[in-house]
């Protein structure tokens, strides 16, 4: 269940109440007349089943409450209410399948910000992966994959394409490109330093690396895994099952490929630099393509379901 808190101008309160009362899957409607001060108006609260939440939020936006008032949404971790159980049963579909498009847009907007923290995480992840590729250590590679924050901007690009939000697309693309550029530049300097102190050597990079050689050898399997991981990651975001994102992060060779490209560049190894860069771009493309197609499929599914319900009514 979701908890909605709406601040509405007094002249729109009746319309808001009628909307909530006629929306299947709502419960616990409360109206506090004149309770809001900034902005001034009435406060209306209710609980709504997640699978009915997007439709209700969209209808409230059509009333202009996102500009003249406010719409706040919270997840309810526990609700002991027979009425709430009945509302969930009445709502169409399953909660795990529902997509809250505004929540997804807001979440990806935040995750795709080119912040100091984002740059720090992607740079540290790339440096950890650099150690992993030189030492041929799969544990370090997995750790670097888990630390990397690049899925946020990738999801932001997919969401922006489906929702037609050019600003979000540009913001996400800048975060992705600048993030990897900064991370790889710092990793080149890091590699030169590690070589100077004798911890990195060209022989280790050029030697047999059965655990990490895949990061500079792109093939169709790399693209297939990227597509599968992109679909899984997108479903994880839309269904609020964020735990699956860890599995997605350690499935795709993005940060390790960037790290290998940076280390190889520091030693002038053109073959590994090009191969790693191709691996990186191939995986980024696969994730974005899968994410976009997954969101389009979900949007089509829920639109079709909504139209079928309206015809049945």
Burial class (CB within 10 angstroms; exposed 0-12, middle 13-18, buried 19+) of 30: exposed
Sequence spans of domains, the chain: 2-97, 103-301
pLDDT by residue (tens digit) across 6-39? 999 999 999 999 999 999 899 999 999 999 999 9
> Quick one: which of 27, 23, 9 has its CA closest to 65?
9
Radius of gyration of the chain (CA): 24
CA dist., res. 303 & res. 120, Å (int): 40
Spatial contact of 273 and 211, defined as CB atoms under 8 Å apart: no
pLDDT by residue (tens digit) across 186-238? 999 999 999 999 999 999 999 989 989 889 988 888 899 999 988 988 888 88
pLDDT by residue (tens digit) across 93-148? 776 677 888 888 887 887 888 999 999 999 999 999 999 999 999 999 999 998 98
Tell me which CATH code domain 2-97 carries.
Answer: 3.30.70
Token pair listed for 21: 């009362």
Distances (CA, A) of 210 to 169, 206, 213, 255, 284: 38, 12, 6, 18, 24
């Amino acid at each position: 269940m979701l908890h909605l808190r709406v601040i509405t101008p007094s002249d729109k309160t009746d319309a808001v109440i009628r909307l909530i009362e006629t929306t299947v899957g709502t419960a616990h409607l409360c109206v506090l007349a004149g309770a809001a001060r900034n902005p001034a108006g009435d406060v209306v609260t209710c609980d709504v089943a997640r699978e009915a939440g997007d439709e209700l939020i969209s209808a409230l936006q059509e009333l202009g409450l996102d500009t003249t008032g406010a719409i706040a949404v919270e997840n309810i971790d526990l609700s002991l209410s027979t009425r709430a159980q009945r509302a969930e049963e009445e709502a169409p579909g399953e909660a795990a399948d529902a997509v809250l498009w505004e929540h997804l847009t807001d979440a990806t907007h935040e995750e795709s910000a080119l912040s100091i923290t984002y740059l720090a995480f992607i740079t540290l992840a790339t440096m950890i992966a650099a150690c992993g590729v030189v030492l041929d250590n799969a544990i370090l590679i997995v750790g670097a994959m888990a630390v990397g924050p690049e899925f946020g901007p990738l999801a932001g690009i997919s969401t922006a394409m489906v929702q037609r939000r050019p600003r979000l697309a540009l913001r996400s693309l800048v975060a992705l490109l600048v993030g990897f550029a900064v991370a790889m530049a710092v990793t080149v300097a890091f590699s030169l330093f590690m070589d100077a102190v004798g911890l990195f050597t060209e022989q280790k990079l050029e030697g047999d690396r059965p655990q990490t050689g895949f990061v500079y050898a792109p093939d169709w399997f790399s693209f297939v895994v990227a597509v599968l991981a992109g679909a899984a990651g997108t479903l994880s975001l839309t269904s609020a099952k964020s735990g699956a994102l860890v599995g997605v992060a350690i499935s795709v060779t993005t940060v390790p490929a960037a790290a290998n490209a940076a280390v190889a560049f520091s030693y002038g190894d053109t073959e590994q630099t090009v191969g790693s860069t191709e691996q990186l771009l191939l995986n980024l493309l696969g994730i974005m393509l899968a994410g976009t197609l997954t969101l389009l499929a979900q949007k089509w599914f829920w639109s079709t379901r909504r139209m079928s319900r309206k015809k049945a009514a």
